[in-house]
Structure 1
Amino acid sequence: MERYLKRKTSDDVVNAHNSARGNSCPNVDDTNWEEKIEYDPGLRKEIDSYHPNQKDRVRRKYLQNGPCQPRTFNFPITKISGKDRKFNAEWFDEFGSWLEYSKAKDRAYCLCCFLFRDRTKKEDGYKAFVVDGWNGWHRKIRLKEHVGGIGSLHNQAMKNCDALLQRAQHIDVAIQIQSEATKNAYFTRLNGSIDVARQLLKLGLPFRGHDESKDSYNKGNFLEFRDFLAQHDPALGKVVGKDAANNSLMVSPEIQKDIVECFAKEILHSIMEEIGHDVFCLLVDESRDVSCKEQMAVVLRYVDKCGTVKETFVGLVHVKETTSAYLKSSIDSLFANLKISLKQVRGQGYDGASNMRGEFNGLQSLIMRESSSAYYVHCFAHQLQLVVVAVVRKHKGISNFFGMISTLLNVVGGSAKRRDIIRDINHEHVSKALGCGLLQTGTGLNQEQCFQRPGDTRWSSHYKTLKSLVDMFPTIVKVLEFVENDDRDRANRDQATGLLVYFQSFDFVFYLQLMLAVLIITNTLSLALQRKDQDIVNAMKCVKSTRHHLNEFRNHGWESLLGDVYGFCDKYDITKLEMEDEYINPKRARQKTGITNKHHYEVDCFNDILDWLLQELDNRFNETTSELLICSTSFNPRDSFRDFNVENLMKLAKLYPSDFNSG
């Protein structure tokens, strides 16, 4: 916070206050704005065309002049529906001070809506009474419809007109007539609220409480902290006590939001000044919040003037759709507000969803159409996890395997009683193994084991789940038998019966050993890619090494995998299948398949899964991204620019043609 929001001196506060009142506004022509005031409503300039510091003075001038109501004018006659029609001067008396008539265009207008109507709200006669004018003289009821009810846009504009004419109630006038002591007390309370907000933002604490009344014991962090500050600051404590006006405490929720919003604008302004016209990378991710609204977080990654790489959060945008086109339009709107361009983007980083990484209609391709050098680079560790996810979704056997494990976790770990049974049985097995000398004792050995639930995207947790399943297999079988026989819930008993059948089948053992072998290879790469000190070149070598190991396992790993499967079956008395026998589909036992068990498990399962893994690795870690990252290492200052390479620099220049000239 201190980097962006520095405390200002009293002179800075006075100058900012005068600037806000319009006393000091450069590049504003204050001499001829009154000459542009038109009495005829059909010839006037729009209010938005004036400078913001002039708008209120222009509005006040129009209201002082009053509406254009030429009562003695000979209104022209117009043929409407075969009858002669014209404006009626009596309408000026009936509809008060808002109705105007333009001699130049023979149309009626609304003065209040012209001065204060929100241009974004086009309903309730905005076009007829503000832009083009109204000439439906045969339908007087349209005038009443334009006025509308109490909360109509027209009545809101009239209230704004009345408030503008009451100068004595304006903030700048009220401050001017106050005594110097009152002004100082006001600024002391305001500065106290700003300091409290500053500290809460530093600590990342929420502001509001459930009960902010005076007698509450938990008013929320903002009020509690401000009261604490007032007790230790005599100047603040004096002006927030009984002497402070109830409507000037500067602690309302609206004030808190205004202060935080000012902080956000100042920080964003500082970040945009630091970026300037330089290039940056765009990082985007979208997810649902607690209210089930899709929110898109936008982060910019850039190098500051000191050469430090920074990642700064610049916005949270609510998106109604998650299509790539809608996300692109939301980013365009945010960039327009921040006054930066997609032409400055030199890199993109998203998750692996199809709407983000799609080569033809994904978000990264839409942005690359505007900035050809905005290359998409995904987190290597996450890409590796998505490779395994893609295989799971493609192969029915693997998908069913992980689905059964998820069901097993719900049944076995669904109650504290079953978890206690797991601990007791596992403790008994460990004690017997120690007594027989099968296990060694020592620090860190034979720790209490549990059946870990895997995460959706963290595939290293799936490896831990399968490893604990192998180590605790007899324990899990006993717990399932206990649930099948003694559980009171019939649904749990039925699930346990089905799980016992599946987990004592050859299919389960085969997929268990296969996925363990695959995850051992990929988990080593995943851990290497997640190291913060990992070098890019080493990371690319790790990817190539993993692909090589998977390819070796694909070509020469079938016999070793089958040996592990048969060994597990022999250990736990599970029926083995002879590979030369005819394969029987469990879902259609009477239908002949015409293939052997070896063909099904080796070709349709083992080879297919590993082929898909290798294909996904090639797709995720494509050649362009790899070349870009390797060429970028030429700028690495580690070990006195040990990786500096002129050829890589030339390749990098070709990848960014707009940043390097041919000379």
Structure 2
Amino acid sequence: PGGSRRRPTGAQYSRHGRNERQQRKKEVISKMKRITGFFTPMTPQLDVQAENPGDNNPNPLEETVGDDLNSRAVEPINESSSLQSETATEQCPTTDSLSTDPAHWGKIDESVRAYWAGKGPESVQNKDANKRLFSKTYFKRKHLNGEYLPREWLLYSPSTGCVFCFACRLFGEGDGQSLFESGYNDWKHATRRIAEHENSDSHRKAMFNYINRAAADGVIDSQLKKQFESQCDYWSEVLQRVVAVVKFLSERGLAFRGSSEIFGRADNGNYMGILELISEFDPFLKSHIQLYGNAGVGTPSYLSSKTCDEFIELMSNRVLSEIIAEVKVTKYFSICIDSTPDMTHIDQLTFIIRYVSPEGLVEERFLKFLPISSHTGKALCDAVLTVLHEMDIDISNCRGQCYDNAANIAGVYNGLQAYIKDINPLVEWVPCAAHTLNLAGVNSVNCCTETANFFNFIQTLFNFCSKSTARWKVVTAGLQPNENHRIETLKSLSDTRWAAHAQATKALCRNYANIQESLMNIAEDSKQNPTTQNDAWSLHKKMNRLETAFLCTIWNYVLQRFHGTSVALQAVDLDLCNAVDLVRSLREYIVGLRDEFDLFEDQAKAMSPTVSETYKQDTQRQRKRKTHVGESATPEVHLSGRERFSSGVFLVVIDRLLAELDRRFQSYNDLNSTFGFLNNISTLSAEHLHKKAADLQKRYHTDLENEFCEEIIQFKEFICHDEPSSARELLLCIKKRKLQTIFPNVDVALRLYLTLPVTNASGERSFSKLKLVKNRLRSTIVQQKLNHLTLMSIESDLLRKVDFTDLIKDFAAKKSRRCHF
């Protein structure tokens, strides 16, 4: 019937079943992985092999491309396609314009051309790829004269086994007519076809296009690039002058800005004033200032305060990064902190870090100031950890801490040093030797009434003479110059600086008789008011006493030695053993003064003709003690004035000084017993050296290996001929001769020892820069800028060494797009 469906024939049934079976077979094959999918293909790298053959570093384009080119597996290919014959025009299923396989580039656009024109064909020739039929001889062209020239344009595709022309692939007609544009693999006629192609007009035209593009002459925006580069060069020249001025002012801690920011005015500040001064001898800068100096808002000049502040921050960060980089290289470091109020009564905490440089030199570098509101040990510990975390410095590598003797810092339970040792037990606390020596002297001053009255007399004498300019002129007119032809005037005392006591006693001792005569002239001057005359006469009488002259002599001797030792203890490269030796020598010197009473007495009597020959007690009536009921009437023992002064003043001062030195420097002796052998390795016996090294290795078992004991004994035999005297010279010897690989543990031990700080003098010196940078006229400076300027001023030696050329070029390149001529 016409409406019924027709039954399929047998042939139709057979054909339909065959199609279904083929379709199922294709689906099964498509789901199966190729055998190459189970292996990692050897894909050549893009940049590294082109520029550094043999380098296994990762491809620098990984961040741009996304996935690692070396970790890509070959994509599975439909098995049915493998049954077909591979033709020269067959495209690889993977498309990646940044691949080193030219068959993967896919569609060629302007960005691909620009990228590979800059890279060149060498990076994608794949000469070392596994080639089954293609010969490496094709990469060279032989001339009739026998010379060989490389075919730089010839590329090989490892995935398709075809060769491509680099120029035609990128800059060809794109119509697929050229076999080397779409891929060529007819190896039977390869020699003839390659020669025909490189002599063709289309190939030469493509090569010309590539050469022009590589030289950037054929790029559309080449003129814009030239203009941009010209602008960068111009602004780089300007910024070189700006950096030089910023460096000059920062080193000296001088102010930058003035009341105005206009060239030609006298109140435009040091920054613009120096630029004007340079422009008088620099035609380029003079022309720039004339064109853009006072152009106003909207016209860049790179001479404004904003640009100046940007470079202050950039240059400071560069210096700080240099310090942090050195600390990370050397690994071990120590910290020193101290605090002081600034001009605006903000308590500033200074951070100093001590380490041994890779060259073997001891360095103490300033990091920053941090405003604090709490002085508890816990708060200070949090501040230290915060700064170290900001600068990515690991506190586990800290081996020393040095502070003054304040209770909130030096306390063994709640002090800062206790909190730090809880975090890292290897951080040894070393009290500041300069502060300790200062405290030993201060406490000795108040050991008896006569000594305290003597220093009160020195301060009263200074106040009396300096209160009036007329009196000061009378006193200084009679002074005699010293050996340097300089007049040492009277000095005031200081509660915090012990050196002021040494300077005051020295000035008084040198001109004792002259000052007496000047006081007498003031006392006898009828033009002076009675109060001034009485004060001058009273001071003159005190100077006539033998006790005053004697104390002036003895304290001048003691304080000069204290001052010399204190100055030596403030050196940056001073090590712990030398500090202990200095204090020990000072102690031995004071011990020797116990038997010099007669010498000091004779010198006191010879200081002035009017000085009394007897002590005050010998001129006073002796008091008789009343005998009480029941008390035996034993005769009283009366000491002479000389004996009483010797036992009650002189020996008391000497003994108090010795006791304070012994008590306060005990901690240094403990550390010296641990590290002291490193300063005299060549003089110790092998058994003693082995024992000391074993104790040190046990204490620092995480830093020193078990072989340290045998290693240092061999090192002792090695240095026997040279005989360096100190640990610092030993470390310099190791660095100079590059012996770190032979004696690695000795190198670590010496670095640990020299890393330990001795004084916190660098922190005190940073306070001087703080007062210079944040003074009365710059009291509103923000904290960040304060740190930048202080860092460059304190670390001026490092600031001079740092090269800011790349910083200038980067800054000019980023900002030039905003400039308009």
Choose which of 449, 453, 473 in structure 1 pairs with 2:491.
453
SS of alignment partner, residue 453 of structure 1: coil
SS of alignment partner, residue 616 of structure 1: helix
Question: 1:533-548 to 2 correspondence within 5 Å?
Answer: 537=577, 539-548=579-588
SS of alignment partner, residue 318 of structure 2: helix
Matched with 1:616 is 660
Distance in 1 (alpha carbons) for counterparts of 2:313 and 2:537: 59
Matched with 2:558 is 518
RMSD: 4.7
Choose which of 241, 264, 285 in structure 1 pairs with 2:316.
264
Question: 1:382-393 to 2 correspondence within 5 Å?
Answer: 383-393=436-446
Deviations 1:327-352 (A, max 9, x none): 33322221221122332221223345
Question: 1:3-18 to 2 correspondence within 5 Å?
Answer: none
1:616 maps to a residue whose letter is E
CA apart distance, 1:216: 1.3
SS of alignment partner, residue 284 of structure 1: strand
SS of alignment partner, residue 466 of structure 1: helix
Matched with 1:331 is 384
Deviations 1:95-117 (A, max 9, x none): xxxxxxxxxxxxxxxxxxxxxxx
Asked if structure 1 preserves the Cα contact closer than 8 Å seen for 2:479 and 2:511, the reply is: yes
Distance 1:354 1:656, change over 3 A: same
2:548 maps to a residue whose letter is F
Distance 1:265 1:519, change over 3 A: closer
Deviations 1:517-565 (A, max 9, x none): 43355456456656889786555334223323323434x4455555655
Distance in 2 (alpha carbons) for counterparts of 1:503 and 1:242: 67
Asked if structure 2 preserves the Cα contact closer than 8 Å seen for 1:304 and 1:310, the reply is: yes
Residue 688 (structure 2) pairs with residue 649 (structure 1): no
Question: 1:89-488 to 2 correspondence within 5 Å?
Answer: 191=236, 194-203=239-248, 204=251, 206=254, 207-225=256-274, 228=278, 231-232=283-284, 240=292, 246=298, 248-276=300-328, 278-378=331-431, 380=433, 383-422=436-475, 424-426=477-479, 447=485, 449-453=487-491, 456=494, 459=498, 462-486=501-525, 488=528
Deviations 1:415-458 (A, max 9, x none): 5544443455457xx9xxxxxxxxxxxxx869564334256366
1:544 maps to a residue whose letter is R
Matched with 1:606 is 650
Residue 676 (structure 2) pairs with residue 660 (structure 1): no
Distance 1:401 1:635, change over 3 A: closer
Distance 1:310 1:471, change over 3 A: closer
Distance in 2 (alpha carbons) for counterparts of 1:510 and 1:352: 32
CA apart distance, 1:276: 2.4
Asked if structure 2 preserves the Cα contact closer than 8 Å seen for 1:188 and 1:239, the reply is: no
Distance 1:623 1:242, change over 3 A: closer
Distance in 2 (alpha carbons) for counterparts of 1:336 and 1:26: 31
Distance 1:398 1:321, change over 3 A: farther
Distance in 2 (alpha carbons) for counterparts of 1:235 and 1:424: 56
Distance 1:335 1:424, change over 3 A: closer
Distance in 1 (alpha carbons) for counterparts of 2:372 and 2:396: 23
Distance in 2 (alpha carbons) for counterparts of 1:222 and 1:572: 59
Matched with 1:102 is none
Asked if structure 2 preserves the Cα contact closer than 8 Å seen for 1:302 and 1:311, the reply is: yes
Distance 1:302 1:661, change over 3 A: same
Matched with 2:542 is 502
Deviations 1:492-535 (A, max 9, x none): 44543442343333542343244234335545645665688978
Distance 1:473 1:265, change over 3 A: closer
Distance 1:638 1:210, change over 3 A: farther
Asked if structure 1 preserves the Cα contact closer than 8 Å seen for 2:549 and 2:611, the reply is: no
1:470 maps to a residue whose letter is C
Deviations 1:33-86 (A, max 9, x none): xxxxxxxxxxxxxxxxxxxxxxxxxxxxxxxxxxxxxxxxxxxxxxxxxxxxxx
SS of alignment partner, residue 305 of structure 1: coil
Question: 1:68-79 to 2 correspondence within 5 Å?
Answer: none
CA apart distance, 1:459: 4.5
Distance 1:632 1:357, change over 3 A: same
2:543 maps to a residue whose letter is F
Distance in 1 (alpha carbons) for counterparts of 2:556 and 2:493: 16
SS of alignment partner, residue 426 of structure 2: coil
Distance 1:563 1:423, change over 3 A: closer
TM-score by length of 2: 0.48
SS of alignment partner, residue 369 of structure 1: helix
Asked if structure 1 preserves the Cα contact closer than 8 Å seen for 2:293 and 2:301, the reply is: no
Question: 1:559-638 to 2 correspondence within 5 Å?
Answer: 561=600, 572-573=611-612, 576-577=615-616, 601-624=645-668, 627-628=671-672, 631=675, 634=678
CA apart distance, 1:315: 0.9
Deviations 1:290-323 (A, max 9, x none): 3333222212122233434333221111223444
Distance 1:580 1:508, change over 3 A: closer
Matched with 2:786 is none
Asked if structure 2 preserves the Cα contact closer than 8 Å seen for 1:463 and 1:520, the reply is: yes
Distance in 1 (alpha carbons) for counterparts of 2:680 and 2:272: 49
Matched with 2:721 is none
CA apart distance, 1:617: 0.9
SS of alignment partner, residue 282 of structure 1: strand
2:558 maps to a residue whose letter is V
Distance in 1 (alpha carbons) for counterparts of 2:291 and 2:404: 52
Asked if structure 2 preserves the Cα contact closer than 8 Å seen for 1:634 and 1:645, the reply is: no
Deviations 1:577-621 (A, max 9, x none): 45798888xxxxxxxx99855786344433332232112212332
Asked if structure 2 preserves the Cα contact closer than 8 Å seen for 1:209 and 1:220, the reply is: yes
Distance in 2 (alpha carbons) for counterparts of 1:449 and 1:242: 51
Matched with 1:16 is none
Structure 2 stretches lacking a partner, 5+ long: 1-62, 68-223, 624-635, 708-821
Most deviating of 615-624 and 492-501 = 492-501
Asked if structure 1 preserves the Cα contact closer than 8 Å seen for 2:462 and 2:491, the reply is: yes
SS of alignment partner, residue 364 of structure 1: helix
CA apart distance, 1:491: 5.8
Distance in 2 (alpha carbons) for counterparts of 1:294 and 1:411: 34
SS of alignment partner, residue 295 of structure 1: strand
Asked if structure 2 preserves the Cα contact closer than 8 Å seen for 1:455 and 1:462, the reply is: yes
Matched with 1:39 is none
Q: How many residues were matched structurally?
A: 466
Asked if structure 1 preserves the Cα contact closer than 8 Å seen for 2:239 and 2:302, the reply is: no
Point out the structure with max Rg over C-alpha. Answer: 2
Distance in 1 (alpha carbons) for counterparts of 2:319 and 2:452: 47
Asked if structure 1 preserves the Cα contact closer than 8 Å seen for 2:355 and 2:363, the reply is: yes
Asked if structure 2 preserves the Cα contact closer than 8 Å seen for 1:628 and 1:652, the reply is: no
Structure 1 stretches lacking a partner, 5+ long: 1-22, 28-178, 431-443, 585-592
Asked if structure 2 preserves the Cα contact closer than 8 Å seen for 1:196 and 1:225, the reply is: no
CA apart distance, 1:569: 8.7
